[in-house]
Every structure is written in C-alpha cells, then in structure tokens.
C-alpha cells in the first residue's frame, strides 16, 4: 500500500489550502491497493502507474469536490455518479465529504461488485451502488439528486440528457471532461446555465464544467 505521506504530497496541488486527515489518507491508500489488484484481472483504468492514478483519478476527483461542495446554499445532501466505473469522482467525493449521500450508478456487473467491495473496505456509510442503466433510473427517479457527476464515459453526448434528467431542479450537473467537449455539453443541454470552465491542475486540457437548470419562464 502506498505511504500516506506520498499520497498527501501527490494530492497537494489539487487540495489548495486544504488537506486530508490521516483516516482519509488511509482510505485512499486502501482504495488504491484494491484498484491495482482488481486492475490485473479487468480493465478498470488504463492508467497503471500508482502515482499517476493518484494524481489523475483521485486528484481530479478531490479537486472537483472542492469546487462543488461547501460553497453553495443550501448544501447538496444527495449526489449521484453516473457511469461510475472504477468510482471516480464519486468515491473520492464521498471520502472528502462523508456526510454526503452518494449513489454510484454502474450497469456493468463486475464493476458494480468492485465498487461494493471498496465501499465495504472503506466503511462508507450512506453510499450505495445502483447496478442498472442510468436511463432506467432516470425514468424511475427523475430529479432525484442535488448533485450529478459525469466523467470519462463512453458515448458522452448520449449520456448527457440522462444525467440532466437525474438532476433536481435546483441541483447541479458537474462534468469532468476535456475542454473540446464543453461545447458539446452546452449544445446538448441548452436548458442549463453553465459556469465558466474550471481548469484541472496539472492538466493542459481537462476541465470541470458545472451547470444548473435554468429557471422556467412564465
């Protein structure tokens, strides 16, 4: 397992003036260890170097959490990570903000099993895996999350309307994407008002794009 001090060093550019507790660093180390072992049997991430996993996956996710949580009124109480895959950004967001209710939407059976094992290992309360297609969940529970996150999913443009449908009227949709995908999102969801792009540290092209549904006009 990676040393906590090394993890803290790698994450420093993404946490600004904040830091993780010893317990949170231990959670990241345990999560990384399980991810590396599972990645030998199935493709959870194309990134193989542990340092790069910390910076690219954990760092980006923690940076997103700092932009999204603790700065708005009222604060988000429920979050949903669509197409969660290996758990990014949903699980790091949950680690950083333990009080936030988190649902990880992942239709692939083996990835869902991995996510449940991480949740159990890290003893994360009020965190569950929804092992079904996001489209079916959006039909059954539209507007059910204050915060919806979407990162590095296949068929990005096709998934966007589903993620928007899951976002509550006063909630926010957060996209962790390449800068070239921003126009796609803005075009696909014209009923959303988008904040200025937020560049991800240590990346030339990765951004966070945060949108909120426009208030209906009379």
pLDDT in tens, 113-138: 999 999 999 999 999 999 999 999 99
Cα–Cα distance for residue pair 218/115, rounded to 1 Å: 44
Domain hosting 28: range is 4-213
Number of domains in the chain: 1
Is 178 part of any domain?
yes
| CA angle (66, 56, 149) in 5-degree steps | 50
Residue 11, domain CATH: 3.40.50.150
189 inside domain = yes
Q: Determine, yes or no, domain membership for 218.
A: no
pLDDT of 44-79, one tens digit each? 999 999 999 999 999 999 999 999 986 666 678 899
DSSP state of 85: T
**Is the pTM here over 0.85, yes or no?**
yes
∠186-192-198 over CA atoms, to 5°?
60
């Amino acid at each position: 397992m990676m040393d906590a001090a090394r993890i803290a060093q790698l994450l420093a550019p993404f946490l600004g003036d904040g830091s993780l507790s010893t317990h949170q660093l231990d959670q990241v180390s345990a999560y990384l260890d399980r991810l590396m072992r599972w990645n030998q049997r199935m493709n959870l991430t194309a990134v193989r170097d542990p340092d790069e996993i910390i910076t690219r996956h954990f760092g980006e996710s923690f940076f997103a959490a700092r932009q999204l949580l603790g700065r708005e009124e009222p604060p988000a109480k429920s979050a949903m990570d669509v197409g969660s895959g290996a758990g990014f950004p949903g699980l790091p967001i949950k680690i950083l903000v333990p009080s936030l209710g988190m649902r990880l939407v992942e239709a692939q059976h083996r990835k869902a099993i991995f996510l449940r094992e991480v949740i159990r290992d890290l003893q994360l309360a009020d965190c569950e895996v929804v092992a079904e297609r996001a489209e079916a969940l959006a039909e059954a529970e539209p507007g059910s999350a204050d915060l919806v996150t979407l990162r590095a999913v296949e068929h990005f443009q096709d998934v966007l309307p589903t993620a928007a449908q899951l976002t509550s009227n006063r909630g926010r949709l957060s996209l962790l994407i390449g800068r070239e995908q921003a126009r796609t999102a803005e075009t696909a969801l014209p009923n959303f008002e988008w904040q200025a792009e937020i560049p991800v540290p240590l990346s030339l092209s990765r951004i966070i794009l945060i949108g909120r549904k426009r208030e209906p006009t009379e």
